[in-house]
Amino acid sequence: MADPKGDRPFARLPLPHRGEIVLWNEDCLEGLARRLAPGSVDVIATSPPYNLGIRYGRYRDRLPRAEYLGWIRALAVRIDGALSDRGSFFLNVGSPPRDPWFAWDVAREVGHRFELQNVVHWIKSIAIDRRFTSRTSGIEHDLALGHYKPVGSKRFLHSAQEYIFHFSRSGDVPLDRLSIGVAYQDPSNIARWRR
């Protein structure tokens, strides 16, 4: 149970090399302003509620759209205060099939304060038919990976992806691309795309 005054952390998690992650169970808008020095954070990653009516306990997840987008604007202001000049802000947002512009509306609100540097498509579910793979792929059977949430509608396709919007102040913050990449499966691609 969290300390109701917010004076003690919810948890402290040691990092392998140095330092720790300190978790606070409190409203993010209040916590960002109260606990973090201006410009002190290099990376912020968040996945706020998507305003889909999901039961989270005390949080009401079905706000009028304008009110929700206003909350996102307030969140962007607080993140702007905490993020360092060369910092990155990663925002994970999904859209329900009936409202495909939702995630982009959220990104647009954040874009009033930050530059949209990258858009990542988080593919949450993928199926691979063995017949369409190369002999060297190592895939011996049909393969389905990830989290599949069925759609009970005849109008909409399955939404197997969410967005991760990467924002920064300038739009030119360097990233270690090789640390997040996936190794080439076909060796011929190594020479073909080497730079």
In this prediction, residue 60 carries a pLDDT of 80
In this prediction, residue 1 carries a pLDDT of 41
Torsion of CA 111, 26, 66, 82, to 10 degrees: -20
Instruction: Dump pLDDT digits (tens) for 146-185.
Output: 877 777 888 988 788 999 999 999 999 999 888 877 776 6
In this prediction, residue 40 carries a pLDDT of 94
How far are the Cα atoms of 1, 2, 17, 50, 167 from residue 26, in angstroms, in the given order? 11, 8, 27, 18, 24
Query: Is residue 104 scored above 70 in pLDDT?
Result: yes
Query: Is residue 21 scored above 60 in pLDDT?
Result: yes
The Cα–Cα gap between 28 and 34 comes to 10
In this prediction, residue 127 carries a pLDDT of 85
Instruction: Dump pLDDT digits (tens) for 22-74.
Output: 898 888 889 989 999 999 999 999 999 888 888 877 778 889 999 999 999 99
The model's confidence at residue 115, banded by pLDDT at 50, 70 and 90, is very high
**Residue 117 CB contacts under 8 Å (≥ 6 apart), including other chains:** 88, 166, 167, 168, 171, 172, 173
What domains lie within the chain, and their CATH numbers? 39-172 (3.40.50.150)
In this prediction, residue 193 carries a pLDDT of 65
Average pLDDT value for the chain: 88
Q: Averaged over 67-94, what is the pLDDT?
A: 96
In this prediction, residue 179 carries a pLDDT of 80
